[in-house]
Structure 1
Amino acid sequence: MALFDLPLDQLRSYRPSFPAPDDFDEFWAKTLAEAREHELDARFEPVDTGLTGVQVLDVTFSGFGGHPVKGWLILPAGAGEPLPVVVEYIGYGGGRGLPHMHLLWASAGFAHFVMDSRGQGSGGWAEGGTADPVGSGPAYPGFMTRGIEDPHDYYYRRLMTDAVRAVEAARSHPLVDAARTAVAGVSQGGGLTLAVGGLVPDLAAIAPDVPFLCDFPRAISLTDRMPYREIGGYLQARRADPAKVLRTLSYFDGVHFAARGTAPALFSTALEDQTCPPSTVFGAFNAYAGEDKSIEVYDFNGHEGGGPYQQAIQLRWLPGKLRAGRDA
């Protein structure tokens, strides 16, 4: 696929004009306060995986509404003192999968917490184990339009709340150093990374790769690729609802979370990415409030982005950020 979005020099200065709702911060403060009315109840059960270089713990914690959310905590074998932790969020449609799919960060000496995505991982590329017990009104197949007529009912209110609670669950383990917490993810995982970066004020670093859920008005009008196209498919049938839909989406836009994030940040984008167009990623990057930020650009790649090359950059970048928490 040839380049289809803005030229790179324009991307570097692009800023969306989609304002955050006046009650954005109040909405999220209330949402998280309601979630915290439920005990976190984080449980860690050892799992025999046959892996000798890591210790694997099967995690269950209380997310949005007190609903049980699954995860993995993967530790270097023999860890005896608190470690910096990378909390990872999964791409669209996938679940936490199997532990041996997640060996990178423990191999680098970090604790690694992998959050399952509620309701996902049944027809995608990695199995999930977390139900979403909340129903919704009319929706297009997928997750993008579930409850989209009201921000209180929207699917991503639940998933983003789970993502914040996952940080709290990871930090509750005695072999995790809470002061040295990073969050990371690719695509949907990158969008969740930005949300958590804007909602959790004391992170040591964030690493959103080719992030999804950014600059919704531009994304849904620029690309016809799934999952953004789910919103267009919904609006094909419900022609009177665009303003209502965009209002809901404004509470979940990575651009608005980025404007509230301050931790050191390493973004990535790819200029041939039609799934998460580069202008939507640069919209979030340019809005990011933290001064310590950088973005890797992959000129001839699509939604795979940098893949292992980006991981190699993260492996060089992240240790310095986690060595002494926010003061690194």
Structure 2
Amino acid sequence: MALFDLPLDELREYRLTRPEPDGFDDFWAGTLADARRAALPPGLSAVPTPLTGVTTHDVTFTGYAGQPIRAWLNRPATATGPLPVVVEFIGYGGGRGLPLDWLIWASAGYAHLIMDTRGQGGGWRGGDTPDPDEYGAGPAHPGVMTRGVGAPETYYYRRLITDAVRAVETATELPGVDASRVVVAGKSQGGALALAAAGLVPDLVAAVVSGVPFLCDIRRALTITDSDPFHEVVRFLRANPGAAERTLRTLDHVDSVHFARRITAPAILSTALMDATCPPSGVFAAYHAIQGPKQIEVYEWDGHDGGRTHFDVAALEFVDDRLN
């Protein structure tokens, strides 16, 4: 993919000026209140693995509407005392996979809670959590961008974002965790969920890691990239042109930029100038909206790989500097 978005000097000035939808805060406050009323204590069970340096627990907690969500909890095997915890969210189409897929943060001395993604896990890494509210058959392929998109109340990402917030709240309740040092992290869809969770429960989040985040400035992204997942919406609207107004209104309720405006914790983001999956203008719009201390890593020659392990190193150093 060649350069397709604004030049870098214009990206560094780009802001989203469109207002958030009316009733945005009330919508999310009501959604989260319902989930909390239905919440149950998390369940943990030890999982044997071949690893000697990391211990793993299989975690089940309650997300949207009290529905069960699976997660892994990895910890350094020799850790003593409460640890900072990283709550990580997964990219589009992927599930939690196996505990051995998630070793970076535990190897660096953190507790690491990896949230499974409801109804996904049919694309590139398996999942274990169905989406019973709409699609009880479990993981699906190829996409979720238009599931329930006719209204904010029925939209898939209402459920998934609520799960992400509940994962953060659950992390503060886990044994051996320092609830004052909670990090939210993820890339692509996971990066969007990190921004959403940090914006919805800012008092619980001590740092944010959001690599090439999805769902940023959605209306613009739909018009400048032909890549999925955004292009799923375009194909849907070609078939259903009369649904455009209500579809865009629904998508406004999950735009990462609106959540970013509520973030006060230190944050590190990444973007790649050749990323047609999550266009850089949207990432910069989210970055500029963040209220707390922040930095952005720009990878001029990358696509949606977005810095690869170079960004992982930057994220580890960023979090270490602020939490330890």
Pairing 1:1-328 to 2, within 5 Å after superposition: 1-121=1-121, 123-135=122-134, 142-202=143-203, 203-290=205-292, 292-323=293-324
Normalised to the residue count of structure 1, the TM-score between the two structures is 0.95
What do the CA deviations read for 1:22-74 (whole angstroms, capped 9, x no partner)? Answer: 21011100000000011232011000011100110000001101111000000
Q: Which moved more, 1:33-42 or 1:157-166?
A: 33-42
Letter in 2 for 1:109: G
Q: Structure 1: how far apart are the matches of 2:299 and 2:142?
A: 31
Measure the CA separation in 1 of the matches of 2:227 and 2:270.
Answer: 19
In 2, the alpha carbon distance for the partners of 1:270 and 1:286 equals: 16
Q: State the Cα distance separating 1:141 from its structure 2 match.
A: 5.3
Matched with 2:138 is none
TM-score, reference length from structure 2? 0.96
- State the alpha-carbon separation in 1 of the partners of residues 117 and 58 from structure 2: 15
Amino acid of the structure 2 residue aligned with 1:33: A
- Tell me the distance in 1 between the aligned counterparts of 2:321 and 2:40: 30
The SS at the match of 1:213 is: coil
- Runs (4 or more) in structure 1 with deviation over 4 Å come to none
Q: 1:40 to 1:168 in 2, by over 3 A?
A: farther
Q: Is contact 1:69-1:116 (8 Å) kept? A: yes
CA offsets per residue over residues 267-308 of structure 1, 9 Å max, x none?
000000000010011111111122x10100000000000110
Instruction: Using the TM superposition, give the Cα deviation of residue 79 of structure 1 relative to its aligned residue in structure 2, in angstroms.
Output: 2.1
- Summarize the Cα distance change of 1:141–1:313 in structure 2 as closer, same or farther, 3 Å threshold: closer
Point out where structure 1 has 5 or more consecutive residues left out of the alignment.
324-328
* Displacement of 1:175: 0.6
Following the alignment from structure 1 to structure 2, what is the Cα–Cα distance between the partners of residues 108 and 212?
26
8 Å contact from structure 1 (residues 18, 215) kept in 2: no
Secondary structure in 1 aligned to 2:242? Answer: coil
After TM superposition, give the deviation of residue 251 of structure 1 in Å. 0.7
> Secondary structure of the equivalent of 2:153?
coil
Indicate the RMSD between aligned Cα atoms, in angstroms.
1.1
Give unmatched runs, 5+ long, in structure 2. Answer: 136-140
